[in-house]
Structure 1
């Protein structure tokens, strides 16, 4: 019965993750009616309502919330079994779930995936993106992804591998008086219009100002890195951004070091207390190898 229902369990998990049967069906390659029918069959078999449905989407019912950890554990165990079988066949099949954030998704992952798939062509990637590192941490702890890129140090319950120091740079309009200077004085942020990424995402940058005893001349709160670059290009203000975000941008700006250089550490994390699967272990090694070979420099216009 469990084997017959595994697809139904996976359908339920994906629906809960995305908050929509339609989006879950698209992600899993099913029709909306087929996925809806699978979940309805599961509810009939158990004589329980697992989801509450409304015009705004779907959410777990109270009964579904009780069963969710066991369902997730069962699906994770099935995936582990699949990977162990794949290992015996020379890593010819399996699914790797990776948590990631935008700049890594754009600048690192495509190349990493290509090399990994050249080595193990039967592997399927499932990428789960988030703007917030805390959300990626939670995904790893809950077993919803096998590993995840995030900022280190990370929270409890995770084992991390440091990968690269990503410089935090002053981002200035191209005609700014200090556009070609060797560095930008942090104290000067009190004078110029400052554009800040949303508070939930700028913990590292807020820490810089706290430690320096500087209160920036905050003019704009923005929730998108690329919007900040567009605003800086138009001379609306200055900002601080990670170097990886700035790579290959088609915007015109100057990016220079802070007078007291600062970094964020990007790493890769897995859940503590449990050995990574063979597939995940191969991926961790591949990432470490390839990131070490990457060129860290950017070339702003």
Structure 2
């Protein structure tokens, strides 16, 4: 049973296409098809369903087998990394799941520090929601994921990085622009843009604690869209400082009531992680200590 076949079928599932897999692995499409067919023949079962309309999906057996295939590939990568460490030749790839504000505000600083010490380690990034990152961690698609406490599987090992406060955001010419701290009660008369995405629960907790109901003029899921609407003066919003402080033509102020999210790096098991992943987590601790 060939590891190469495992790599090919894992890549086919990831990309959802034999053609894209062939391009990614520098192979012919027929070679990719042959490798998958050979593996299915060896296992005496079908792993993939090929449908012209729906594309490529996993069979019921494939859904059960794929996590084991990914685990074998991770173990092989760890073996190569351990050998590389002994011979002073670093190698390996780290797959990281991240959300928008972590990508723009946390990753650059962390990657800069890490790659100065370990320039030969490669990275692959997957951007998604809290829920998607948790799912990717559980299924082995990623090695590490940026998560928020309370939004991740409690069975994951966590490395806390920062406490990200909720702040109020508004147009620079808004009446709040002179206020360092805004009272929750001051939000009552404002057109409010309610986030319906990843940090909605934090915003709702603030209003519940203040025992007030905002005048919700818009409900918006996408963080960037919310920021653009605030920039146009269509309303104010509450959101994570990590994201909002990087937006142009937006001002932020503290709130008289505190609510924050703890952003952490999650790993299924630090003890069983590859040397590269362990080192990445160690560096992260130092950067955000």
Q: Same fold (TM over 0.5)?
A: yes
1:12 counterpart = 2:9: yes
**For the structure 1 residues 193 and 22, does the alpha-carbon distance in structure 2 shift closer, same or farther, using more than 3 Å as the test?**
farther
Q: Paired residue for 1:142?
A: 139
**For the structure 1 residues 201 and 43, does the alpha-carbon distance in structure 2 shift closer, same or farther, using more than 3 Å as the test?**
farther
2:106 to 95, 108, 115: 108
Q: Deviations along 1:89-126, whole A, 9 cap, x unmatched?
A: 23511111222111111222233223322212221112
Number of aligned residue pairs? 286
Find the aligned partners of 2:113 and 2:176 in 1 and give their Cα distance. Answer: 40
Q: Paired residue for 2:278?
A: 281
1:214 to 212, 219, 234: 212
2:56 to 55, 58, 83: 58
Find the aligned partners of 1:216 and 1:10 in 2 and give their Cα distance. Answer: 52
Q: Paired residue for 1:298?
A: none
SS in 2 for 1:261: coil
| 207-216 vs 236-245, greater mean Cα deviation | 207-216
Q: Paired residue for 1:186?
A: 184
Q: Deviations along 1:12-70, whole A, 9 cap, x unmatched?
A: 223334444455556x4446725444333433443432122232322111221232232
**For the structure 1 residues 22 and 100, does the alpha-carbon distance in structure 2 shift closer, same or farther, using more than 3 Å as the test?**
farther
Find the aligned partners of 1:31 and 1:247 in 2 and give their Cα distance. Answer: 45
Find the aligned partners of 1:25 and 1:150 in 2 and give their Cα distance. Answer: 33
Q: Paired residue for 1:262?
A: 259
Equivalent residue runs for 1:145-160 within 5 Å: 145-153=142-150, 154-160=152-158
Which runs of no fewer than 5 residues in structure 1 stay unpaired? 293-301
Find the aligned partners of 1:44 and 1:7 in 2 and give their Cα distance. Answer: 15
Q: Paired residue for 1:297?
A: none
1:141–1:157 CA contact under 8 A, matched in 2: no
Find the aligned partners of 1:184 and 1:25 in 2 and give their Cα distance. Answer: 56
1:171–1:255 CA contact under 8 A, matched in 2: yes
Find the aligned partners of 2:61 and 2:35 in 1 and give their Cα distance. Answer: 18
SS in 1 for 2:257: strand
Deviation, structure 1 residue 184 = 1.9
**For the structure 1 residues 121 and 199, does the alpha-carbon distance in structure 2 shift closer, same or farther, using more than 3 Å as the test?**
closer
**For the structure 1 residues 272 and 212, does the alpha-carbon distance in structure 2 shift closer, same or farther, using more than 3 Å as the test?**
farther
Find the aligned partners of 1:10 and 1:121 in 2 and give their Cα distance. Answer: 24
1:230 to 228, 231, 237: 228
- TM-align CA RMSD: 2.4
Find the aligned partners of 1:223 and 1:35 in 2 and give their Cα distance. Answer: 39
SS in 2 for 1:221: strand
Q: Paired residue for 1:70?
A: 68
**For the structure 1 residues 147 and 214, does the alpha-carbon distance in structure 2 shift closer, same or farther, using more than 3 Å as the test?**
same
Find the aligned partners of 1:45 and 1:98 in 2 and give their Cα distance. Answer: 32
**For the structure 1 residues 252 and 200, does the alpha-carbon distance in structure 2 shift closer, same or farther, using more than 3 Å as the test?**
closer
SS in 2 for 1:76: helix
